[in-house]
């Protein structure tokens, strides 16, 4: 393992045509992938990815879903995750999203269900792969009170003060290739100690350009972290692998 992508969505339809090719390239380049899904279809489909030796999976329920689905649908999906608990390396994508969900009542539902999901992660000693769009303060507060497992803040867009709260709590921050064209992500990279950084792609989103993103872009993230933190490439590369092995037990 030379590189790791701790948050990709290779289960998505956009990869149906060339998923195997991408995975083969990843294998050749030593890129290990942790796939995240967050709905019924995605969680089910992600099980197929386990046939690749360089892929592990997380399962979750997206915050935009937890805000909308019925109790019945929510607990059925939780049951599906429980049934597959031995096959997964983490819980995610989960969290809060107040960008797409503005209704107060729905936000409350998201919060309640997020707590329920954190409880599931605690019970099974699985790390959390967390989304926190426009709800960074609430997400960090809830995690710091409730999570007893490693936390990965994926694509964190909150203030540096909030990032400090997460750092104090020992959370990890995964950096996507968009860092190449984003000043605020560079500032986050400067702020977070190297022992708490991880690399991700959020494929097919958040690429270095506006094209479809995929895990083969991970070396670009390492290069940018090395440049921004003024640490040599090899040191960053090795430390991030070490961090990922610790968090996801891979």
Which residues contact Zn ion (rule: CB under 5 A)? Answer: 93, 202
Interatomic CA distance for residues 224 and 46, integer angstroms: 29
For Zn ion, the closer of residues 152 and 226 by Cβ is 152
Query: Least distance in Å: CB of 8 to Zn ion?
Result: 8
Q: Which long-range contacts (CB under 8 A, 24 or more apart) does 43-47 make?
A: 43/77, 43/80, 43/81, 43/84, 44/80, 45/11, 46/11, 47/84, 47/87
As a whole number of angstroms, the distance between CA 58 and CA 20 comes to 19
Report the nearest approach of Zn ion to the CB of residue 200 (Å): 8
> Which one, 58 or 240, has the nearer CB to Zn ion?
58
Please identify the residue of the shown chain whose CB is closest to the bound Zn ion.
202
Nearest Cα to Cα of residue 129 among 171, 100, 97, 70: 171
Q: Which is nearer to Zn ion, 10 or 225 (CB)?
A: 10
- Rounded least distance, CB 37 to Zn ion, Å: 9
DSSP 213: P
Q: Is the peptide bond before 71 cis (omega within 30 degrees of 0)?
A: no
Residue 210, helix vs strand vs coil: coil
Q: In what order do the strands lie in the sheet with 128-131?
A: 3-8, 31-37, 55-59, 90-95, 128-131, 151-154, 172-175, 197-199
**CB nearer Zn ion, residue 98 or residue 226:** 98
Comparison of 93 and 214: residue with beta carbon closer to Zn ion: 93
Q: At closest approach, how far in Å is the CB of 59 from Zn ion?
A: 13
Shortest CB 202 distance to Zn ion, Å: 5
């Amino acid at each position: 393992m030379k590189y790791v992508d701790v948050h990709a969505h290779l289960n998505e339809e956009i990869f149906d045509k060339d998923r195997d090719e991408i995975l083969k390239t990843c294998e050749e380049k030593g890129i290990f992938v942790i796939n995240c899904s967050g709905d019924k279809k995605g969680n089910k489909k992600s099980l197929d990815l386990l046939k690749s030796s360089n892929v592990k999976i997380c399962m979750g329920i997206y915050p935009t879903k937890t805000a909308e689905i019925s109790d019945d649908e929510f607990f059925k999906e939780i049951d599906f995750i429980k049934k597959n608990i031995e096959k997964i390396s983490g819980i995610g994508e989960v969290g809060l999203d107040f960008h797409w969900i503005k209704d107060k009542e729905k936000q409350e539902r998201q919060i309640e269900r997020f707590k329920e999901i954190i409880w599931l992660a605690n019970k099974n000693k699985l790390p959390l792969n967390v989304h926190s769009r426009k709800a960074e303060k609430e997400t960090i507060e809830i995690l710091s009170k409730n999570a007893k497992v490693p936390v990965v803040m994926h694509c964190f867009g909150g203030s540096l003060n909030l990032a400090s709260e997460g750092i104090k709590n020992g959370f990890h921050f995964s950096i996507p290739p968009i860092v190449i064209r984003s000043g605020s992500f560079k500032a986050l990279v400067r702020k977070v100690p190297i022992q708490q950084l991880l690399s991700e792609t959020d494929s097919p989103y958040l690429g270095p350009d506006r094209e479809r993103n995929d895990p083969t872009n991970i070396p670009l993230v390492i290069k940018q972290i090395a440049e921004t933190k003024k640490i040599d490439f090899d040191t960053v590369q090795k430390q991030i692998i070490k961090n990922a092995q610790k968090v996801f037990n891979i």
